[in-house]
């Protein structure tokens, strides 16, 4: 059986959107080009392609959080 790959990203906590807010995501030029390449092969909108990629990759992400050092005071 093929081992599933994981995506490692640094962990941090951001606030969720408030009702009525529109999300804005800024991409690097390379990520934008990759997204356009995928979108051009799809019948979905850019918004839907990006959303699907994010939602389908959630279970393969590993958050690299710094380990907390106990306070010895």
Q: What is the mean pLDDT of each run of 10 residues along the chain (73 residues)?
A: 74 81 92 97 95 92 76 58
Q: What's the Cα-to-Cα distance from 21 to each of 14, 24, 51, rounded to whole Å? A: 15, 9, 16
Contact 49, 31 (CB under 8 A): no
What pLDDT does 52 receive?
A: 95
Question: Which alpha helices (DSSP H) does the chain contain, by range?
Answer: 29-40, 46-57
What pLDDT does 56 receive?
A: 92
pTM of the entire predicted model: 0.65
What pLDDT does 6 receive?
A: 81
């Amino acid at each position: 059986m093929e081992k599933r790959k994981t995506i490692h990203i640094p962990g941090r906590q951001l606030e969720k959107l408030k009702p009525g807010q529109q999300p804005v995501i800024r991409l690097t030029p390379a990520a934008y080009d990759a997204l356009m390449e995928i979108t051009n092969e799809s019948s979905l909108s850019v918004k839907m392609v990006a959303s699907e990629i994010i939602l389908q990759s959630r279970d393969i992400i590993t958050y690299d959080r710094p380990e907390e050092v106990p306070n010895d005071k």
